[in-house]
Each structure stands twice: as structure tokens, then as C-alpha cells.
Structure 1
Amino acid sequence: MTLYYTLVFVLLVLEMTLFMLLIVPLPFGVKRKIFTFISENPVVAKIQYWMKITFVFILILFIDSVNRVYRVQIELMAASEQAHKGSAAGVMGHERLEVQARKFYSQRNMYLCGFTLFLSLILNRTYVMIIEVMRLEDRLKSYEGTNKDTKQSEKLAVAGKPGELAGLKEKLEKKDQDLQTLKKQSEQLHKSYDELSDKYAALQKDHESTKTR
């Protein structure tokens, strides 16, 4: 195996290791620190930039290996046809083995580059999905009022900010209490009004009775 294909193999092993680390279950706080470090570290950003350039070269190697597999397949078919004709069977058998070996190495390089590129796409998508899940978990905790960083902001609930739901619940409870108080006051006023109406009606009857006398 040549040097650049050896480097591709090392990169493939590294990608497999990173993928295993991504899917390992970790506590939310630890995972958050790790991904925050990866997202904000400038060294990691430079590494990602150079990795993108590296994957461009791996894509070129993959295309070249596919082309080699195609050419070797054509040579193998031509060697098989000549072998069937029976001309120089011993020499053609040796050439056939050589072509088979070239086919094997070409296919190995093609699969190596192909799996490396495919796993890079899976790693990128898995990383993005984990970041989105962590953001959704933070948002959910902030809306439920369980996030320590947003306990103070819940008291000053503002639309569109963490702690809004808890603040709205407090306001709703206060409104319910005010409504119950108003109901009690209205009932008392209604009773007082009925009593005054009865007294007024009784006074009217007494007044009319005195007039008739």
C-alpha cells in the first residue's frame, strides 16, 4: 500500500474512533462541555478546514481508483477472450493472475476511499444532529423552568425569552385570585342590593298605607 493510501486508512480508523465517541452515552453536562469546546476552539476550526481539503484529495483518489477498476476489468475480459482462443496458454495464465492482482488492489483502494468519504458525511450529519438535540434540550429546560441560569429571568418573564412559561403561570394564578375576589365582592353587593330592594319595597308599602288612611 502506497503512502497516501496508508494515510487514507489511518484517517478511516480515526473517523471510526470519532464516530464511536459521538455515540457513547455521556452525561448532558459533560457532553455539552465537549461540544462547546469543539465548536468554539480555533484550533479545531483550522483542523476542520484542512480536513475538508484532505477530503477533496480523497475524492480525487476515489475517482482515480474507480477508473482503474474499470480499466482493469476491461483488460481482464480481453485476457479471458485470448485465453479461450488457446494462444500461449501459460503466458496468458501468468498475465491473467497479474491482472487479477491489479483488480484486487484497485478495488481495495476504491472501497477504502469510498468508505472514508461516506463515513465523513455520516460524522458531519451526526455532529449536527447532536448539536440540534442539545439546543432543543436547553430550550425545553428553560421553558420548564429547571435551568439554573434562567431562574432569575423567570421572575421578569419577557415574551420570547427563557422562563416565559413560568412567569405566565404566576400571572395566571394572580388573575385567578383577583377573579375569585371580584366574584365574592359581586355576590356581597348583590345580597346588599336585594336587602336594600326589600327594605325599599317595604317602605313604599308603608308609605302608601299611610296615605290611604
Structure 2
Amino acid sequence: MTLYYSLVFCLLVFEMAVFMGLIVPLPFTIKRKLFTFISESPVVAKLQYGLKITFIFILILFIDSVNRVYRVQLELSSFSKEGGAMGAAALGTDRMEVQARKFYSQRNMYLCGFTLFLSLILNRTYTMILELLRLEDRVKHLQGDKQTGGKDSARLASAGDLGEIGRLKEELATKDRDIETLKKQADGLAREYHNLGDKVSDKPEGPKKDL
């Protein structure tokens, strides 16, 4: 394996390790801190930028390996057609060489292909986990607002009940004062009536006229 395909293999192993780290179940607080660090760290941002450039080169290697597999397949087809014209020993040796080149080309194609495919899976998994964390934060925030709103509603209801009771008490006190005022007025009218009656009864009667 050449140096650049060895590096591609190392990158594939690194992607597998990162993917396992993403799917490992962790507490919500630890996971949120970890992904907050990853999304806000400038070092991680530079690393992601470098990986994007690396994946472009891997894509070029993948296209080259596919082209090599196609050409080797054409050579094998030509060997099958020329089998009768060439000697058996020469044909066998050349065919084994072509088969070996086909194996290496297919290996390189699968290596680059799986590396690119896993990079897409990692990107999608990372995005989904970030969305999940945002949704969990939003749910907790809404639950907190709901509980606070319930408490505020209870306080407002209690305050409303107290205000209603106070208003009724004030109305009752006002009516009591009105009743007391009416009683005093009635007592005053009764005294005036008795005084007038006494004055009328004490007045001397005049002489009666004879008919």
C-alpha cells in the first residue's frame, strides 16, 4: 500500500473512532458541553476545514481507482478473447498479474469509497445530535416557563380572590353605614312625630258653640 492510501486508511480508522464517540450514550450535560466546545472551538473549525480539503483529494483518488478497475476489467476481457492465440504459461502469468492489479485497484476503490461515505455519515450524525440538543434545551425551557406561568397564574388568582373579598367587604361596610344613617333618620322622624303629637294633645280646646 502506497503512502497516500495508508493515510486514507488511517483517516478511515479515525472516522470510525469519532463515529463510535458520537453514538456513545452520555449524560445530557456532558454531551451539551462537549458539542458546545466542538462547535465553538477555533482549533476544531480549522481541523474541519483541513479535513474538507483532504476529502477532496480522497475523492480524486476514488475516481482514479474506479478508472483503474475499469481498465483492468477491460484487460481481463481481452485476455479471455486471446486465450487461444497465446501460450498457456504466458497467459497464466499475465492473467495473474492482471488479477493482482485488479485486486489492488478494487481495494483502493473500496477504501476511498468507504472513507467518503463515512464522512457523510459523520456530518449528518453530528448535525442531528446538535439539533437534538437544541430541541431538548427548548423543551426544558418551555417546561420551566410553563411551571413559572402556572405559579404566576396561581398568584394572580389568589390576588384576584383577595381583591374580590376586599371589594365585597367595602361594599358591606358602606351598606352598614347607610343602614345606620337610615336608622338615625327614622329615629329622628319618630321623635318629631311624638313631639308634634304631644303639642297637639296639650293645646286647650275652645268653647263649644250651642246649636
Report which structure shows greater RCO (CA 8 Å, sep ≥6). Answer: 2
1:142 corresponds to which residue? 141
1:31 corresponds to which residue? 31
For residues 17-60 of structure 1, give each alpha carbon's deviation from its aligned partner in whole angstroms, at most 9, with x where no partner exists. 01111111111121122111111111111110010000000000
Q: Which runs of 5+ in 2 are unaligned?
A: 176-211
The percent identity for this pair of structures is: 61
Q: Please state how far the C-alpha of 1:175 moved relative to its aligned partner.
A: 4.5
Give secondary structure in 2 for the equivalent of 1:66.
helix
1:89 corresponds to which residue? 88
Give secondary structure in 2 for the equivalent of 1:87.
coil
**TM-score, normalised via structure 2 length:** 0.74
Matched AA of 1:71: R
Task: Tell me how far apart the structure 2 counterparts of residues 127 and 35 of structure 1 sit (CA, whole Å).
Answer: 9
Number of residue equivalences? 176
1:121 corresponds to which residue? 120
Give secondary structure in 2 for the equivalent of 1:46.
helix
Kindly name which structure, 1 or 2, has the bigger radius of gyration based on alpha carbons.
Answer: 2
Q: Which runs of 5+ in 1 are unaligned?
A: 146-163, 194-213
**TM-score, normalised via structure 1 length:** 0.73
Matched AA of 1:166: Q
Give the aligned CA root-mean-square deviation in angstroms: 2.5
For residues 148-202 of structure 1, give each alpha carbon's deviation from its aligned partner in whole angstroms, at most 9, with x where no partner exists. xxxxxxxxxxxxxxxx32332233324444665688799998xxx9xxxxxxxxx
1:105 corresponds to which residue? 104
Work out whether residues 80 and 96 of structure 1, in 8 Å CA contact, stay in contact via their aligned partners in 2.
Answer: no
Q: Does 1:172 align with 2:153?
A: yes
Work out whether residues 8 and 116 of structure 1, in 8 Å CA contact, stay in contact via their aligned partners in 2.
Answer: yes
1:151 corresponds to which residue? none
Task: Tell me how far apart the structure 2 counterparts of residues 87 and 66 of structure 1 sit (CA, whole Å).
Answer: 29
Paired residues for 1:52-67 under 5 Å: 52-67=52-67
Work out whether residues 61 and 113 of structure 1, in 8 Å CA contact, stay in contact via their aligned partners in 2.
Answer: yes
Q: Please state how far the C-alpha of 1:139 moved relative to its aligned partner.
A: 1.4
Worse overlay, 170-179 or 93-102: 170-179
Task: Tell me how far apart the structure 1 counterparts of residues 76 and 168 of structure 2 sit (CA, whole Å).
Answer: 101
Task: Tell me how far apart the structure 1 counterparts of residues 165 and 159 of structure 2 sit (CA, whole Å).
Answer: 10
1:72 corresponds to which residue? 72
